[in-house]
Amino acid sequence: MSKPVYLGKLLLHWCKDCNVPVLGKKCSCGKKTTKVSVTPPGDIRPAFQYDIDNINAVSMEQFNVPIIPEGHLAVLNKAPYDDRMEEVIVDGEVLASFRFEMDSLKWVLLPRLAGARRLFEGRDLKEMKGWVVLDSGAVSFILKGASVLAPGIIDADPQIQVSDETVVLTPEGEIVAVGRARMSGADMIEHNKGVGVKNRWKGKPEKIDVPEGGQTWDDAVKANSEILALFEDKAHQFIKHTNETVNRPVSVSYSGGKDSLAVLQLVSECLDDYELLFADTGLEFPETIENVKDIVEHYQRPLRTKDAGEAFWESVGDFGPPSVEARWCCKVCKLGPISQIINDNYEDGCLTFIGQRKYESAARANSERVWKNPWVGNQIGASPIQDWTAMHVWLYIFKTGVPYNVMYERGFDRIGCWLCPSSSLSDLFRLKETHPELVKRLNDHLLEYAEKMGLSKEWVEHGLWRWQTLPPAIAKIAEEKGINIIPKSDVKGELKFSVTSGYRPCREGGMSAEGSFGIALDMELLETTGLLRSAGKVAYIEGVASVHHEDDRAQIFASGTVTARGNNETDAREFMTQIERAVRRSLKCMGCGVCVGKCPNDCITIEDGKAIISSKCTHCGACVTICPVVKFG
């Protein structure tokens, strides 16, 4: 599971008098607020009605009662997890975590003590689900940290299954723990040994005090009015100062998302002369295209746009599915159109205000507020809302009443390309309900690709296509379910290699490029021949080879995908070429031996019809220049 990362201050507080979230120590009503403890980075946001309904539907399925009362505002905080997990905050308390589990492919509610007490207090257990009643004598052991053992259980919901979320009560009906069942409800009652429940949270019994509901997000905007005014004023000053300092034509990059919308509104309040930029990747939600039209009508400003059309689908056959490690689609579908927009419309360059926020990622937290775009040489980017949380953005949008993308109300917390490999699996599952025609097109391609690579439909269903190398927790799920994740190699016929056009900054700095052979590679053969050493020092783990030489880095994956990184575009391009040649030699070598005499360090031998490079290789590349596979293959 991912670890929490602090990207900025944790700002969520709650006004007990107004019963609304506040982004500071004082409410606009004049009263002090209470800090709410949330998991970093703390990019909190409002729960829309779909979010509330979804959470309550799962709560009903697990416990037979909704956890969020009608008429109460709910705040969600995205917490680190292998897929998507939100902390559910109501009335100033974290009631539960709500997460999508990749093994079962469904949402699960993990109540905390405060949430469990709201669910169970004052209710007849016969009408509830997921409960375990503990013998009074075992309570003290639970409070000291012990798990709930079967001998200490006097009753349990017989419907409980292994791994279900459970609430542990005393005979008097008081909540003392919540956790995950380690045996069925029937076994808990019948067994005389073993762990019945592995506790996640424990605590002494407490009475609950549920505040009166009826608040609206307009009330929250009012409670945060002074805080919002400060943030707006700082953003206005930044926009005006940057505009005066840079002195270029002004544009606002609009994506259809909330952050770029907030920036657009802020700019409109400061400047009269600006234009809108929108790069249509060809992978936008239909609702995003409609929202762009609404925005142009609302602001009455010129729109500079470029449509990538079918570029993704025309390229995916060569490159395979995009992945977290190799997002070639960004170059083909996004960066290319943006570059064309800038070059076609701003001869002397432009200043573009962008909806970047530090709470989104470590890379953005470390980014400058004003920067020169490394892949569009004549564009300067600037972020007026760098220090805003998602809650600041939403309160500002609610306050100004600007038209936001309706997809936020339908369960999506981010708006971008609908098939982005960085999306959560939960979003892709939600997409089946909102846009089944889009999912069908994606899945048809993925299933065809999986068959070609010797992978199963489960590889597609569980979203494993989104990585070249699976994160450890997800690799464990694949192993437990028996899902093969190593493509079947095949080098018959012509060996083609495609490289994406354009380069983008990678997370580690420098410039990156992606390419693909379009087939699965025999990684054992690459390691055995050692021919990758001609490009640099090599290390292998299952399904991937890493090569580095001085400041250049590359990874070759079993799927046939190659990523390369250098200090600049030229370095990245040249190193990608070296890697491609080394791989091609490894797979196509016929053992002719011309490279043996060319090697100045006697590092090459011929064994079983293949050239073998030893660890003495100095990566001079002399053997590459003479190789007929490189010259004519």
> Does some domain include residue 587?
yes
Question: Can you give the residue range of the structural domain that contains 545?
Answer: 498-632
Query: Would you say the C-alpha torsion 141, 146, 148, 149 has a positive or negative sign?
Result: negative
Residue 93 sits in a domain whose CATH number is 3.10.450
In 3D space, the residue among 17, 11, 3 whose CA is nearest the CA of residue 358 turns out to be 11
Residue 81 counted as domain residue: yes
Return the CATH number at 195. Answer: 2.30.130.10
The string of DSSP codes covering 453-476 is HT--HHHHHTTGGG-SS--HHHHH
Q: What is the pLDDT of residues 72-112, one digit of tens each?
A: 999 999 999 989 999 999 999 999 999 999 999 999 999 99
Which range has the top average pLDDT, 91-105, 368-382, 519-533? 91-105
- In this prediction, residue 326 has a pLDDT band, given cuts at 50, 70 and 90, of confident
> Do 187 and 176 share a structural domain?
yes
Query: How many domains would you assign to the chain?
Result: 5
Both 263 and 388 in a single domain? yes
> In terms of domains, do 544 and 428 share one?
no
Per DSSP, 419 falls in state T
On the question of pLDDT at 502 being above 60, the answer is no
CA-CA distance, 210 to 167, in Å (whole number)?
Answer: 19
Task: State the Cα–Cα distance between residues 14 and 34, nearest whole angstrom.
Answer: 5
Phi-psi region of 423 (alpha: psi -120 to 50; beta: other; left: phi over 0): beta
Under 8 Å between Cβ of 101 and 80: no
pLDDT surpasses 50 at 508 = no
Q: What is the pLDDT of residue 505?
A: 43
Indicate if 71 and 23 belong to the same structural domain: yes
Last residue of a domain, one of 84, 103, 121: 121
Residue 494 scores a pLDDT above 60: no
Give yes or no for residue 480 having a pLDDT over 60. Answer: yes
- 552 closest CA partner among 544, 564, 538: 564
Six token digits for residue 487: 């493509």
User: Of the candidates 413, 447, 480, which is a domain's last residue?
Assistant: 480
| pLDDT for position 525 | 87
Let me know whether 236 and 371 are in one domain: yes
Looking at the structure, tell me whether residues 339 and 362 fall in a common domain: yes
Q: What is the mean pLDDT of the chain?
A: 90
Rounded average pLDDT over 56-74: 97
Q: Do 367 and 377 have their domain in common?
A: yes
**Rounded distance between C-alpha atoms, residue 600 and residue 617, angstroms:** 10
pLDDT tens digits for range 235-257: 999 999 999 999 899 999 999 99
In a shared domain, residues 628 and 506: yes
- Please indicate, yes or no, if residue 486 is contained in any of the structural domains: no
How far is 615 from 602, CA to CA, in rounded Å?
Answer: 11
pLDDT tens digits, 389-402: 999 999 999 999 99
C-beta of residue 154 within 8 angstroms of C-beta of residue 133? yes
Whether residue 132 sits in one domain with residue 79? no
**pLDDT for 250-306, tens place per residue?**
999 999 999 999 999 999 999 999 999 999 999 999 999 999 999 999 999 999 999
Whether the predicted pLDDT of 473 surpasses 50: yes
Same domain, 190 and 259: no
Confidence of residue 22 (pLDDT cuts 50, 70, 90): very high
589 and 470 share one domain: no
Domain contains 560: yes
Q: Measuring CA to CA, which residue among 537, 560, 555 is closest to residue 449?
A: 560
Q: What's the average model confidence in pLDDT over 512-534?
A: 85
Cα–Cα separations (whole angstroms), residue 234 to 230, 237, 383, 395: 6, 5, 12, 16
Assess contact for 446 and 317: CB atoms under 8 A. no
Let me know if residue 368 belongs to a domain.
yes
Q: Indicate if 284 and 229 belong to the same structural domain.
A: yes
Q: Which of 405, 432, 459 finishes a domain?
A: 432
- Structural domain contains residue 16: yes
